[in-house]
């Protein structure tokens, strides 16, 4: 048996929907994008949803729309996908890496405050793997320093904190529809926000900077002759082909979430006996989005072993699991350890012990809605088998 890390779930409804743009011939951004946006707005409760080609381009749009630019600093977690930091670089701003808590993988307020300067313009909290960041204290802190908050909710569809869907706490929030995410369009992203003016700017920036005319026509003229271009925009438009799939996927988003949650809870119950592994904790008031089920090796279970030894041991476990038919991945990157950021930002990976431990000790287990009982049992069983075969570090 081979259990992949993910397996997207498509059904006849998705296949039928994708046929429609092919049949009408309208395959670029059009009516399906509008329907997909409406579906995500309804699911999250957001006032506005603006589709784009990925969460990466969504984060870029968000920072551009908020006026982040050269000379500005943007606080980002050191443990995240590279796009979080890249969005600041795209705007000529400087991403400032902040360490994370290696227990829950999210950035801490103390780390953000430690890296804040007079140049800090924005902060991008990341709801990593679907676990909401504690937004209450973060929003108060950001407001007291006049910082924009852009939520990286790439992993956050279905994640709710105290009754509010993530992505709705800051100025805007950005979702991803990559196949490793709960709902997928192949590639795709969505920026949600409450402010109509911000939504208009996001729409303008994603479409080459074009916007509808601001003044009435002095003589009869079709609107397409009066489009205005007064911003430097991009082409970050999602296609109707992708959005048709998104519409189908959103129709079953709640079902997908329920299935993912059930599988996550089953892992947590089945892995209780393994004292060398810590399962993700779900704090009170939180609905986890379960984009990934990421366990971590507990250093306390191996007294006297240093981090490098444990990381090398985790790597051996991953290789052995792959050979045993279980695909795993590290949670995500310690961006602070990657060449581009070390050199360009002048950071020392050792200054980010939380991110280093999070990357080196984490294991994302297979999690997807069509995971079967037999597949999940195989993953659980092989964790013990492989531990026995590899031996302790």
Residues marked active site are found at 181
3-state secondary structure of 391: coil
Characterise 213 by phi-psi region: left (phi > 0), alpha (psi -120 to 50), beta (else).
beta
Residue 257 touching ligand PLP (CB under 6 A): no
Contact 367, 300 (CB under 8 A): no
Question: Does 81 contact ligand PLP by CB under 6 A?
Answer: yes
Contact region with ligand PLP (CB under 6 A), list: 50-58, 138-146, 272-280, 342-350: 50-58
Q: The tokens of 304 are what?
A: 């006297």
Contacts 24+ apart (CB under 8 A), 135-142: 135/161, 135/166, 135/169, 135/170, 136/162, 137/109, 138/109, 138/112, 139/169, 139/170, 141/109, 141/112, 141/113, 142/170
Strands 148-152 and 120-123: parallel
Nearer to ligand PLP, 72 or 152 (CB): 152
Q: Where are the alpha helices (DSSP H) in 253-331?
A: 253-270, 307-323
Between residue 90 and residue 119, which ones bind ligand PLP under the rule CB under 6 A?
none
Tell me the CA distances in angstroms from 166 to 64, 328, 330, one per residue in order: 21, 26, 24
| Residues 331-360 close enough to bind ligand PLP by CB under 6 A | 332
Q: Rule CB under 6 A: is residue 287 a binding residue for ligand PLP?
A: no
Given a contact cutoff of 8 angstroms between Cβ atoms, the answer to whether 167 and 150 are in contact is: no
Q: Does 55 bind ligand PLP (CB under 6 A)?
A: yes
Residue whose CB is less far from ligand PLP, 155 or 380: 155
Q: One symbol per residue from 61 to 80: x for binding ligand PLP (CB under 6 A), - otherwise; what is it?
A: -------------------x
Among residues 86 and 382, whose Cβ is nearest to ligand PLP?
A: 86
CB of 249 to ligand PLP, least distance (A): 14
Q: Which residue in the set 96, 122, 126, 191 belongs to the binding site for ligand PLP (CB under 6 A)? A: 126
Give DSSP secondary structure letters for 167-210. TSSSSEEEEE-STTSSS--SS-EEEEES-HHHHHHHHHHHBTTE
Name the CA dihedral angle for 26, 30, 36, 42, rounded to a multiple of 10 degrees.
-150
CB nearer ligand PLP, residue 55 or residue 361: 55
Applying CB under 6 A, does 29 fall inside the site for ligand PLP?
no
Q: Of 173 and 189, which CB lies nearer to ligand PLP in the complex structure?
A: 189
DSSP bridge pairs for 293: 365
Q: Is 6 in the site for ligand PLP (CB under 6 A)?
A: no
The stretch near ligand PLP (CB under 6 A) out of 131-139, 148-156, 240-248, 256-264 is: 148-156
* Bridge-based pairing state of the strands 293-297 and 172-176: unpaired
Side-chain-side CA neighbours of residue 210 (13 Å): 10
Q: Which of 95, 102, 173, 189 binds ligand PLP (CB under 6 A)?
A: 189
Kindly state the number of chain residues that form the binding site for ligand PLP, as judged by CB under 6 A: 15
Q: What residues between 298 and 327 interact with ligand PLP by CB under 6 A?
A: none
Nearest to 184 by CA among 202, 212, 166, 157: 157
Q: Which two tokens stand for residue 297?
A: 């090796």
Binding mask 222-251 for ligand PLP (x = CB under 6 A): ------------------------------
Q: Segment near ligand PLP (CB under 6 A), from 147-155, 191-199, 206-214, 382-390?
A: 147-155
Nearer to ligand PLP among residue 56 and residue 336 (C-beta): 56
Q: DSSP secondary-structure letter at 148?
A: E
Q: Does the protein bind ligand PLP through residue 155 (CB under 6 A)?
A: yes
**CB of 86 or CB of 120, closer to ligand PLP:** 86
Q: How far is the CB of 81 from ligand PLP (least distance, A)?
A: 3
Cβ 154 to ligand PLP shortest distance, Å? 3
What is the C-alpha to C-alpha distance for residues 276 and 125, in angstroms, rounded to an integer?
29
Nearest to ligand PLP of 46, 126 (CB atom): 126
Contact by Cβ (8 Å): 98, 120? no
> Residues 156 to 185: which contact ligand PLP by CB under 6 A?
176, 178
Beta bridge partners of 365: 293
Interface ranges with ligand PLP (CB under 6 A)? 54-56, 80-81, 83-84, 126, 152, 154-155, 176, 178, 189, 332
């Amino acid at each position: 048996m081979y259990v992949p890390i993910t397996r997207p779930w498509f059904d006849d409804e998705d296949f039928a929907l994708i046929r429609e743009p092919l049949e009408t011939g309208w395959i670029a951004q059009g009516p399906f994008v509008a329907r997909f946006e409406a579906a995500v707005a309804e699911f999250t409760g957001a006032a506005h949803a603006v589709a784009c080609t990925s969460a990466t381009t969504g984060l870029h749009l968000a920072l551009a729309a908020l006026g982040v630019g050269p000379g500005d600093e943007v606080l980002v977690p050191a443990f995240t996908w590279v796009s979080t930091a890249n969005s600041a670089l795209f705007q000529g701003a400087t991403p400032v890496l902040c360490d994370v808590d290696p227990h829950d993988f999210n950035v801490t307020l103390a780390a953000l405050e430690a890296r804040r300067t007079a140049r800090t313009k924005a902060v991008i909290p990341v709801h990593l793997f679907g676990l909401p960041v504690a937004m209450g204290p973060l929003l108060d802190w950001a407001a007291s320093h006049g910082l924009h908050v852009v939520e990286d909710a790439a992993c956050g569809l279905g994640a709710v904190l105290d009754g509010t869907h993530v992505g709705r706490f800051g100025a805007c929030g950005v979702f991803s529809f990559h196949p490793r995410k709960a709902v997928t369009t192949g590639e795709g992203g969505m920026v949600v926000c409450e402010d109509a003016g911000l939504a208009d700017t996001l729409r303008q920036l994603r479409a080459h900077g074009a916007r509808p005319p601001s003044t009435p026509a002095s003589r009869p003229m079709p609107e397409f002759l009066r489009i205005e271009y007064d911003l430097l925009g991009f082409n970050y438009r999602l296609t109707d082909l992708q959005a048709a799939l998104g519409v189908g996927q959103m129709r079953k988003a709640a079902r997908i979430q329920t299935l993912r949650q059930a599988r996550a809870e089953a892992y947590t119950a089945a892995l209780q006996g393994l004292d060398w592994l810590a399962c993700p904790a779900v704090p009170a008031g939180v609905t986890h989005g379960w984009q990934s089920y990421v366990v971590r090796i507990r250093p306390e279970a191996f007294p006297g072993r240093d981090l490098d030894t444990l990381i090398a041991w985790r790597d051996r476990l991953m290789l052995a699991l792959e050979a045993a038919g279980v695909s795993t991945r590290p949670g995500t990157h310690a961006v602070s350890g990657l060449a581009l950021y070390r050199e360009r930002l002048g950071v020392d990976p050792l200054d980010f012990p939380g991110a280093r431990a999070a990357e080196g000790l984490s294991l994302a287990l297979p999690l997807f809605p069509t995971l079967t009982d037999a597949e999940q049992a195989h993953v659980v069983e092989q964790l013990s088998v492989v531990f026995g075969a590899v031996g302790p570090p």
